[in-house]
Amino acid sequence: MKRFGIAIAGIGFAALLIGCDSENEIDRQARTAPESPLLLEPQSPLLTDYKEVRGRQARDVSPDGKFVLVGSADGANWAIEVLSIESGNVVGQMKDPGREVYGTPSQFLPGSNYVFDEEFIFKYTLWDFRRDRTVGCSTGTNPLPDRTVVVDSRVVCRSTKTFA
Amino acid sequence: MTTALPEIWDLVSAVSPDGHQYLTTPPGTLGSYKQIEVRSVADYRITGRIDAGNDRIFEDQWSQPPRYTADGKFIVAIVQANEKVRRWFLNVYRADSLELIDKIDTTEWNPRKDRVPQPDDSLTTPPHFGAEIVISPDRRLAAVGNHEHSFRLFDLKSKRELAHSTFAQPPFFFTPDGTTLITNHAAGVRIWNLEKMK
């Protein structure tokens, strides 16, 4: 019931975004934000060495600390990519990601190199970004096959089937 | 043939980076509780409990739940002290022994120290929408953000603010080795090299 409640709230929020305010808050800020430096200490900048990937939001860091999962900056997942922390370059791009409509960010699965993406209610995709292929998906109320899955940061599902 | 284990609806706060354990709350304690249960992902069995004593841990859909540090060695929970004046602490526990090893008073981070903390002080009321506190794996740094799009980086030992920014928003991430901080800004993602921090 809680899940449906969240989903309904999400639908309402999405409708509000689409119908009433197509201009995203972040976009507005982007136009008004000072150019640089954004991160500073008065008189003496402490953090000076960084890479910037514009138009993206970080969603997660891989368990080995080598990659960053990013989505589009407007909050919807029209793009899900994996960046190399070392180079800042895109090393993987998910095909046809689900649009994030109610706050379940895409994430790396703990203990694996898979990316988990949820599209609306009970539709999940598992993407192996190293091999660039979808290794599992689920619709309906069944839990995702294979591995541990964190849904909405609150539900753990697990099954015994393994995708080679 | 797929044989699924029973689907459970535990309120999972966090999964350990290795995927073996998860944190959850005792049944019927949504929102405010005194205990965190540590369970095995494989069979949902309880492997340990964290007891917040007289303090209370708050968790709802707008607040930051207990979580692991990026290296999985520590569990960090925001707790409200059982005092007349609201004070929020970061309790840091060892992930293996569940021993409380640090209790950090977040009022140190209150930008308005000249007055008694108020419920609306964004840094003394972490459960506000969008608030986030992330501790580096070496427990030296805290990345703190709030719903007003501010970001601040603190040295937890010296209590000094190392850096700040406006137009930043959670989530923030440290890498497991603690050498990199990742922040979200209006313009995009920034990947900071902490090893070159002056």
Reported as a pLDDT band with limits 50, 70 and 90, residue B70 is very high
The total number of structural domains in chain B stands at: 1
Closest CA to A14 of A95, A86, A75: A75
Beta carbons of B3 and A161 less than 8 Å apart = yes
Rounded to two decimals, the ipTM of the complex is 0.81
List of residues 6+ apart from A8 with CB closer than 8 A: none
List b or e across B172-193, with b for residues whose CB sees 16 or more CB atoms inside 10 angstroms: bbbbbbbbbbbbbbbbbbbbbe
CA distance B4 to chain A (A): 4
Binding-face residues of A in 33-92 toward B, CB within 8 A: 33-34, 38-41, 44-61, 63-65, 68, 70, 73, 83, 85, 88
The structure's pTM equals: 0.74
List of residues 6+ apart from A128 with CB closer than 8 A: A113, A114, A115, A134, A135
pLDDT at A4 (0 to 100): 53
Q: Is B107 exposed, middle or buried (0-12, 13-18, 19+ CB in 10 A)?
A: middle
pLDDT at A124 (0 to 100): 66
Mean pLDDT of A101-106: 58
Q: Does some domain include residue B1?
A: no
Q: Indicate the DSSP class of residue A35.
A: S
pLDDT at B85 (0 to 100): 66
pLDDT at B178 (0 to 100): 93
pLDDT reading at B137 higher than 90:
yes
Mean pLDDT of A104-122: 68
pLDDT at A7 (0 to 100): 55
In Å, how far from its chain's centre is CA A108? 9
Q: Indicate the DSSP class of residue B13.
A: E
Q: Does some domain include residue B187?
A: yes
In Å, how far from its chain's centre is CA A44? 34
pLDDT reading at B100 higher than 90:
yes
Beta carbons of A83 and B167 less than 8 Å apart = no
Binding-face residues of A in 104-133 toward B, CB within 8 A: 105, 109-112
List of residues 6+ apart from B141 with CB closer than 8 A: B135, B153, B154, B155, B156, B162, B174, B178, B181, B194
Note the pLDDT tens digit of each residue in A133-149. Answer: 776 655 443 443 334 44
Mean pLDDT of A24-41: 40
Q: Strand ranges (DSSP E) for chain B?
A: 12-15, 21-24, 31-33, 35-40, 46-51, 56-59, 67-68, 74-80, 88-94, 100-105, 132-135, 141-145, 151-155, 160-165, 168-174, 180-185, 188-193
Query: Distance between CA A148 and CA A158 in Å, rounded?
Result: 5
Q: Please check whether residue B101 is in contact with residue B94, taking contact to mean a CB–CB distance below 8 angstroms.
A: yes
Q: Which residue has the higher pLDDT, B82 or B47?
A: B47
- How does the average pLDDT of chain A come out, rounded? 62
Nearest CA in chain A to B12: A154
Beta carbons of A50 and B70 less than 8 Å apart = no
By residue range, what is the domain housing residue B178? 12-196
Mean pLDDT of B102-107: 82
pLDDT reading at A36 higher than 60:
no
pLDDT reading at B130 higher than 70:
no
Q: Does some domain include residue B23?
A: yes
Q: Please check whether residue B23 is in contact with residue A110, taking contact to mean a CB–CB distance below 8 angstroms.
A: no
Test mutation, A40, A114, A156, chain B, max B CBs within 10 A: A156
pLDDT at A46 (0 to 100): 62
Reported as a pLDDT band with limits 50, 70 and 90, residue A112 is low
Mean pLDDT of A66-90: 84
pLDDT reading at B14 higher than 50:
yes
Task: Give percent of chain A with pLDDT exceeding 70.
Answer: 38
Beta carbons of A68 and B162 less than 8 Å apart = no
CA distance B177 to chain A (A): 7
pLDDT at A153 (0 to 100): 39
Closest CA to B185 of A68, A105, A52, A93: A52
Query: Distance between CA B87 and CA B90 in Å, rounded?
Result: 10
Task: Give percent of chain B with pLDDT exceeding 90.
Answer: 25
Nearest CA in chain A to B14: A153
pLDDT at A45 (0 to 100): 54
- Roughly how many angstroms between the first and final C-alpha of chain B, as a whole number? 57
**Helix or strand holding residue A31 (H, E):** helix A25-32
CA distance A19 to chain B (A): 23
Q: Does some domain include residue B3?
A: no
Q: Which three-class secondary structure state does DSSP give residue A18? A: helix
